[in-house]
Amino acid sequence: MPDTLVRPRKGEATRAAILDTALRLASATGIEALTIGTLAEEAGMSKSGVFAHFGSREELQVAVVHEYHRRFQRDVFDPVMALPRGLPRLKGLFDQWIGVVTHEIQHGCIYISGAFEYDGRPGAVRDALMASISVWREALERACRQAVEAGHMRPETDPEQLVFELMGLVLALNFDARFLQRPDALARTVRALSHRIAEWQAPAWN
């Protein structure tokens, strides 16, 4: 039988390997600390070799944001799409997100660290971060609206307000677990998320 496995071309494989290294570096030290030179050294390549795939430092940084977003969607969003619309999907999104954040406590989160790095710095990197985070926030708000429409949550639920509060709890988890290194951070976050969602659940779903 003919080999039908599609293999990436050498250039594509090299670019993917460079991005993997860049993402690891950016997660550990921040996007702003990522340079062509440090990446070339870490990847065991020449600067010209890295430049062949990324024409500038900014292009490299934007590519890292896009790659993180692709992986975030794969690990958080995609697995939940098999769940029923409404409360199961909303809870699933936060469960998956908590799982990723917990894993990233030791490595760093591009979304969270990037938001602090670029909150007041206009440019392509900030635009890429804002676009990616906005897509994620809109997905959460959509899941919340669907939960209201399905009768899983009370009609007076404000999706934007609830998502604002729930996202704040995940940010608190990152702060307490990564910076303050509080061992109870995860348990407190899970409990707080459950309480906030339960407060707005329709009686039949409590």
Widest CA span in the chain: 62
Name the domain count of the chain. Answer: 1
Q: Which pLDDT belongs to residue 106?
A: 78
Please check whether residue 120 lies inside any domain of the structure.
yes
Provide block-wise average pLDDT over 10 residues at a time, the chain (206 residues). Answer: 54 88 92 91 88 90 96 94 94 94 85 90 96 96 96 96 96 92 95 95 83
Amino acid identity of 194?
S
Which of these, 97, 176, 180, 186, lies nearest to 133 by C-alpha position? 97
CATH of the domain at 116: 1.10.357.10
Q: Which pLDDT belongs to residue 206?
A: 66
For residues 93 and 77, the answer to whether their CB atoms sit within 8 Å is yes
Amino acid identity of 65?
V
Centre a 10 Å sphere on the Cβ of residue 72 and count the other Cβ atoms it contains: 21
Please check whether residue 36 lies inside any domain of the structure.
no
Region of 108 (left: φ > 0; alpha: ψ -120 to 50; beta: rest) is: left
Please check whether residue 40 lies inside any domain of the structure.
no
Q: 144 Cβ partners below 8 Å, 6+ apart?
A: 90, 153, 157, 159, 162, 163
Backbone angles phi, psi at 4, to 5 degrees: -100, 0
Range of the structural domain that residue 99 is part of: 57-205
Please check whether residue 75 lies inside any domain of the structure.
yes
Tokens at 129, concatenated: 């971060």
Please check whether residue 32 lies inside any domain of the structure.
no
Please check whether residue 17 lies inside any domain of the structure.
no
Q: Which pLDDT belongs to residue 1?
A: 45
Model confidence, pTM: 0.88
Q: Which pLDDT belongs to residue 50?
A: 87
Please check whether residue 194 lies inside any domain of the structure.
yes
Which of these, 102, 120, 135, lies nearest to 32 by C-alpha position? 120
For residues 87 and 152, the answer to whether their CB atoms sit within 8 Å is yes
CA-atom Rg of the chain in angstroms = 20
Please check whether residue 37 lies inside any domain of the structure.
no
